[in-house]
A and B are shown apart, each in its own frame.
Chain A
Amino acid sequence: MEKQAVQRAREAFLAGRPRPLEFRVQQLKSLQRMITDRQGEIATALKQDINRSQYDTPLFELIGLENEISLAVSKLAQWAAPRPVERNLLTISDQAYIQPEPLGVVLIIGAWNYPWALTLQPLVGAIAAGNAAVVKPSELSEYSASLLKALLPRYLDQELYPVVCGGVSETQELLRQRFDHVFYTGNSTVGKLVMEAAARHLTPVTLELGGKSPCYIDKDVDLRVACRRITWGKFVNCGQTCIAPDYILCEPSIQNRVVEGIRQTLLEFYGPDPKSSPDYSRIINQRHFNRLMTLLEGYTATVGGQSDSSQRYIAPTVVKDVPPQARLMQEEIFGPLLPIVTVSDIDDAIHFINEREKPLALYVFSSNKKVIRRMLAETTSGGVTVNDVIMHYTLNSLPFGGVGQSGTGRYHGKHTFDQFSHHRACLVKSLGMEDVNMVRYPPQNRQKARRVRLAMRTPLVDFSRKTYIWAVTATVFAFGLFVTLTAILCTCL
């Protein structure tokens, strides 16, 4: 069944259907209509999957998606146009440009934590770039997956963009097929398997994985605002966000104030009993619930710690003075547990971060520019937000992706279009200027060799500082000479 879906998509692609820009725009607009028309059903599905609040849905899933579609529709012609490049002497009269082209049939494997955004945002780019796309939503968010399977064929071309649902074995079957690109969002264990499967077909991959995103709070900072922003980013979607601040690093002297700041904010956000707040989500399934409860074993929560297995509810929880070797610090938490690890200073914090795998996001809170500069210059991560969390995700002109264990490739906005395109280098020469070409043909001699070397040099004009100074000096000197000569001539006459 999976094989047939891929086959049909390939045939539709080869027939040239997604090639015209008008077709792509029309599909994107249709996708937009689907989101607008069906918002209520989508919100319901998300409530059933993950107890997502009715406000979180548009905020975190749909607004971003709508923006991506609007951007793609508005800029498609520009993105798909040939991009000219700098030429050298040998190519001065030729056309040299990069032409973005569709790759073919791509596979998009979505995730369960933001099942609509993380499955459809890549699809927007894939459609814009002129590909066919097989969409495989995560089976863990089953209501969303079923809804997507029902809705997408009603709005988009059924053959070019089929939805394939299923679990592990269906995904494995899909991965046996040959694709021109595979886009996977999820964890690194499965990421490695995806890469391995793609390797057999020499298929390039984009992997949006995760990791432990550190959050460093400097002494020199407005703790009230910092804690509010961190609390928001950590506990939204019940901590099940790939770029949620995973853990806090701060000096012991401010730890208690950080805890208090978070406690205060939690009261403001969810009231004294988060379980009854309509704005607080649940853990996706029993397995993840159990995993999170195991992480907490042996530690006393400073804030929260309550849980209810029947509802898969875990209260927003903060744990102080967590040792680096604790289980909480060994794997990505992906839940509403916030460990605080104390460090002696910024050097210690940087060292701590660099000893670990490269994270998907890094956060630093400080009013001290030096601290911010050092953190940026001496660490690496997929992306960074300074003095807030998560927000770098929302600006689609910033490339969003990981590095090292947190992933490979990037997307959002134009970056998605580029990720799903082949950038074909094109040089269109004329058969004229053949005399210049003569120098490269055999039989060879020293003279010819020297001329070719000269003609191959780029850049065409040397804009280096030395030349600039020489040019200015020479001009001034020449002008001075001209003035002098003119003066002499005038006095002579």
Chain B
Amino acid sequence: MASQSEVIDRLRATFRSGVTFPEQFRMTQLQNLLSLVEENEQLIQDALHKDLHKPKFESVLSEIQITLNDLYFAMENLRTWMQPEYNIGKNLATRMDDCFIRREPLGVVLIIGAWNYPLHLILLPLVAAIAAGNCAILKPSEICQATEQLLAELIPKYLSQDCYAVLCGGAEDTKSLLKNKFDHIFYTGSQVVARSILLAAAPHLTPVTLELGGKSPCFIYGHIDIQKAAKRLCWSKFFNTGQSCVAPDYVLCTAQTRDALLPALRETLRTFYGPDPGASLDIGRIVTPRHWRRLMDMLEKSKGKVVIGGESREEDRYIAPTVLVDVQESDALMQEEIFGPILPILTIESLEEGIDYINRQEKPLALYVFSDETSVVTTVLNNTSSGGFCGNDGIVHMALPGLPFGGVGASGMGSYHGRWGFETFSHRRGCMNRSWLLERVNVLRYPPYSDYNLGWLRWATTFKKNSWGGCSVM
């Protein structure tokens, strides 16, 4: 059994040989990864069901299909992404030169997965890392053991073993893994662990991408079709049993809206999961007894009033979709990211009050507004900040590969999905290929200096507003 450093050294040696650089190699590996997912759909669904009681529909939509889409997108665009970028402005002094930006692989990267979407949260960064020409070490979450084992078994079978490796283990193993030098670290998870990752990366000056979380607020304000809003809200909140980093964490609305919202929520939940959600096949479970206990503690300590749900079962880590009202800022549910099927509703008197509240907290990963009124959406957008934003829906903004997915402030740094992932795992190298001509112009810059030369040089290199650079008096 190879040690961590042996694996890393092997990958580094492979990278130095340059085998991951050609387009053909990257394409083949992406194709193999595609086959891995397509040929093992059933196994993947079974593993996810074992780990998270994930309904097949959710596994397909939010784990398998999203990975396949990103793979199709990457394979389709790889050639374009790899091309040096020539279309950049030049000034008079560099008009005869070849100027371009190359995208180059970084080296050996480390990708640390999370447990809530154990497949796509580790495979989507891997797609980007492969497309960008790197070697990669995958460290799946040890909490989802079935998925971890499946990845450890399948990745070496489909992908080049000299370029990509899966290293399994717990917190201690991850700590020792981080003592090694990587060329980029990609981490999805909690803020606490993120700090220790950054501290481990600093002595090596390793750049880091952090996909963290936070409390993603959801405004329901102004004129709105409450039925439709309730549907979309319920879907995004209770998908994966609320264990999504971009799930709407809590709702902000007026008392009037709340009163209209509650019956809509009840009706929607009944349509979705039937009268007894515990018996529905379409709802998952909390990942571990420890996480279940954390949620139950929050619920017990909360001073809010449970108006929907509240039932739970310890044996299978079930918590019913639960909604609370009369929740205050100081409530137990409002101190940390919930990450479960519990939805507190906070009442506000005005939009400004809600915006003020949000701005007093850390910047969230996502922010949602349900409203027919454009002015409401615009006001919230202009006066808040968040990783991403979705108006009149939840979560789906992350399914569009053209949009960068990432946080800001405490919710993370860096982004990925689609081309953004490729850029994250690449170095953008600015290149200037100077012509031998115009040495007479160059002479202006050499000592001995003179005012005369300086004057001409200034003229040649100054950016002029509205200059279209076509004038070549020189």
Contacts and interface: CB of A to CB of B under 8 A. Distances in A.
B389 A425 contact: yes
Contacts of B93: 394
B169 interface: no
Contacts of A207: 205
Contact of B57 (A56, A87, A449): A449
Interface in A189-239: 191-193, 195-196, 198-200, 202, 204, 207, 209, 222, 225, 228-229, 232
A270 B448 CA distance: 6
B270 to A, nearest CB: 11
A276 to B, nearest CB: 12
A159 interface: no
B431 A67 contact: no
Interface string A34-75: 000000000000000000011110110001001100110110
Interface stretch (B170-178, B193-201, B311-319): B193-201
Given A67-B461, A398-B101, A453-B65, A225 B436 contact: yes
B94 A395 contact: yes
Contact of A449 (B61, B205, B427): B61
Nearest to A270: B447
Interface in B65-108: 65-66, 69, 72-73, 76, 88-91, 93-94, 97-99, 101-102, 104, 106-107
- For A378, A384, A387, A397, the residue with the greatest tally of chain B CB atoms inside 10 Å of its CB is A397
A428 B465 CA distance: 35
Contacts of A121: none
Interface string B409-423: 110111100000000
Interface in B399-436: 399-405, 408-410, 412-415, 427-436
Contacts of B412: 202
A96 interface: yes
A390 B463 CA distance: 19
A279 B449 contact: yes
A422 B88 CA distance: 23
Nearest to A271: B448
Nearest to B383: A16
A293 interface: no
Interface stretch (B224-232, B252-260, B302-310): B224-232
Contacts of A408: 205, 207
B205 A103 contact: no
A272 to B, nearest CB: 13
Contacts of B388: 424-427
Interface residues of A, number: 112
Contacts of B271: 441
Interface bracket on B: 35 or more
B94 A431 contact: no
Interface stretch (A303-311, A319-327, A336-344, A399-407): A399-407
A18 interface: no
B439 interface: yes
B375 to A, nearest CB: 13
Interface in B31-74: 55-57, 60-61, 65-66, 69, 72-73
A456 interface: yes
B432 A385 contact: yes
B211 interface: no
B57 A464 contact: no
Nearest to A423: B404
Interface string A456-467: 111100011000
B393 interface: yes
A427 B390 contact: yes
A246 interface: no
Contact of B405 (A66, A425, A442, A456): A425
B106 A442 contact: no
Given A269-B447, A424-B387, A426-B397, A457 B101 contact: no
Given A427-B389, A428-B391, A444-B55, A58 B454 contact: yes
Contacts of A96: 397, 400, 402-403
B400 A192 contact: no
B462 interface: yes
A400 B98 CA distance: 16
A58 B414 CA distance: 36
B148 interface: no
A155 B372 CA distance: 44
Contacts of A431: 224-225, 228-229, 232, 370, 372, 392
Contacts of B104: 380, 403
A254 interface: no
A71 B463 contact: yes
Interface in B157-200: 183, 191, 194-195, 198-199
B235 interface: yes
Given A67-B463, A385-B432, A441-B235, A427 B400 contact: yes
Nearest to B377: A428
A271 B381 CA distance: 62
Contacts of A271: 448
A115 interface: no
Interface in A451-493: 452-453, 456-459, 463-464
Given A403-B427, A422-B385, A444 B57 contact: yes
Contact of B454 (A55, A99, A209): A55
A359 B104 CA distance: 14
A51 to B, nearest CB: 14
Contacts of B447: 53, 232, 268-270, 277, 279-280
Given A394-B94, A424-B387, A428-B391, A382 B429 contact: yes
A191 B202 CA distance: 8
A400 B431 CA distance: 10
A298 interface: no
Contacts of A196: 199, 202-203
A330 interface: no
A89 to B, nearest CB: 11
Nearest to B433: A386
Interface string A90-106: 11000010110101100
Contacts of A302: none
B463 A70 contact: yes
A70 B414 CA distance: 29
Nearest to A378: B18
A225 B439 contact: yes
B199 A85 contact: no
B337 interface: no
13 contacts: A56-B449, A91-B396, A202-B210, A202-B410, A209-B205, A383-B432, A395-B432, A396-B463, A397-B89, A400-B430, A425-B398, A442-B280, A458-B401
Q: Which 6 A-B pairs give the minimum distances between C-beta atoms? A: A85-B402, A398-B430, A199-B198, A55-B449, A427-B397, A442-B282
